Amino acid sequence: MALVFITAPVIGALSDQANRRMPFLFFTTLLCVSFTALLGYEKEGWDKHTTLFFSLGLFVLANYFYQAGLIFYDSTLATISTPGNRGRIGGIGIGIGYVGSLIGVIAGYALIEILGFPLQTVFQATAMLFLIFAIPCFVFVKENKQDSFWPGLMVIFSFLLILIFVLLDNSLKFVLPFAAIACGFAYFSTPSTPLFRDGSIVKAVSGTLKQLRKTISMVDDFPGLGRFLVGRIFYTDAANTATAFAAIYVSEEFGMTTADIAKYMLIGILSSIVSGFLWGYLVDIVGPKITLNLVLWVWFATFSLLISTVWLGLPVWLIWGAPFLAGIALGGTWCADRPYMLVLTPPRYIGQFYGLYSMVGRFATIIGPLSWGIIVDELGLGRPAAITFLFIIMIIGYIILQGVDDSPREWPPELQADYEPEPPRGAIGRSR
C-alpha cells in the first residue's frame, strides 16, 4: 500500500502522457497474475523462513500491480460510458465484481474442501480466474478505432501458459516467460501506443514528473476536487477498516464460529451484488453527491448497530443485520465515488487525478489498520471503541463532502482529452 501511495500519481500521469489506459491496465493485470500464480511456490531445500519471505515478496508485488491496475481500470469508466449512463455502467461493474468475489469463495471452498487440493492451489486458481474474467475487458474495451483484438488474444495465450504451469508440476520455466511474451506481443501489436518505443520512455517519464508537480498545484483550480479528495480519505478509511476487521469483531465480541463468519460474509457479498446495480441507477437519477450522502447514512446505521448491540446489550440476533447494511453501503460507496470523481476532473488530466484519487485511498488503507491497532491494543479501549472511532471519522468525511458541488462542468477545449495546442507561428502542421 505504501508503494502504491508513493507511485500512484506518477503512473497515472504517465498514462496521461501516453493518452492511453488499456495498455497499462493490460500490463499490470498480467504482472499481478504472474506473481499471484507463484504464491505458495516452495523450492526443494528451502527452509520455512526462506519460503515465507519469498511468498511475502510475491504478495507485495502482486498486490502492488493489482492496486496500480485499479488506477487505469477506474479511469476507463469515462471511455465506456456517457455522463447520462455513467452511474448505471459503474453500478453494473460493481455488481458483477462482487459476483466475482462470490465465485472466488465458492471456487476456493470446492478446491480445498471437496476436491482435496493443497491450500496453495487457491493462488493458482485465483490467477486463472483473474485472467478469465479480464479477457472481455481486453477484447471489447477500445479507446480508439486503431485498437485490435490482439491484447485479448494475448491474455488467452497467457491463460494457457498459466494452466500449463498448474498442471506440469509447478515448473517455473512455464511461468516466468509468459508475462514478457504476452506483454510484448500485446503491446507491439497495438499501433496506437507509441510509448516506450524509439527511446520515448525517457521523454515520457521526464514529462510525467514535470506534469505531476503541475497537477498537484492545480488541484485548487478545479472547484470541489481537493475537498472531495480530503473527504474521501475519511470515508474510505472507515469503510475499508470496518470491512477488514469485520470477521475479527463479530468473532471476538459475539463468539461467532468459522461457519457463522462465512455466512456473515456471504450475506454481505450478496447484498453488495444487488445494491451495486441499484445504486448505479440512483447515481444517474439524482447525481453522485446525493447518492454518496445516502450511502454514508447507510454506513452510519451499520456502525450504530455494531456499537449499540455491544454497549446497550441489545439482542445478539440484531447483529445479523450489519452485513446486510454493510454490503449495501459498500456497493454504493464505489458506485458513487467514481462518477463523483469524473464530474470534478477535467478529461485531459483523468489519469493524473485518478492517481491522486488512488493515493488518498491507499493512505486511508494504511492509516485505518494503524488506528484500529492503537485503539484496541495500545490503549486497550476495545473493539467497540475502535468502531466508534471509525463512525466519527466517517461523519467528518460526510461533513467535508457537503461543500462539494457535483453539477456537470463545461470544460474548455484545452482541458479536453483530445486537445492539442496550436503550433508556434512558422511551424508546419500540429505538434505531436
- Cβ atoms 225, 18 nearer than 8 A: no
pTM of the model: 0.76
Q: Which residue shows C-alpha cell 471437496?
A: 114
Q: In 10 A of CB 142, how many CB atoms?
A: 16
pLDDT of residue 425: 43
Looking at the domain 224-415, which fold is it?
Growth Hormone; Chain: A; (1.20.1250)
* DSSP label at residue 316: G
**What's the average pLDDT block by block, 10 residues per block, for the chain (432 residues)?**
66 68 81 82 75 84 86 80 82 85 81 78 83 80 64 59 55 52 55 48 57 72 88 91 87 82 86 89 92 96 91 85 92 90 84 78 78 89 91 95 87 65 40 32
Give the span between the Cα atoms of 298 and 329, in whole angstroms.
Answer: 6
The Cα 244–Cα 58 span in angstroms is: 21
The residue whose grid cell reads 470496518 is 242
CB atoms closer than 10 angstroms to residue 350: 24
Reference 75, options 7, 20, 118; nearest CA is 20
Task: Supply the pLDDT for residue 283.
Answer: 92
- Grid coordinates representing 65 are 500491480
Note the pLDDT of residue 149.
55
Residue extents of the structural domains in the chain? 21-192, 224-415
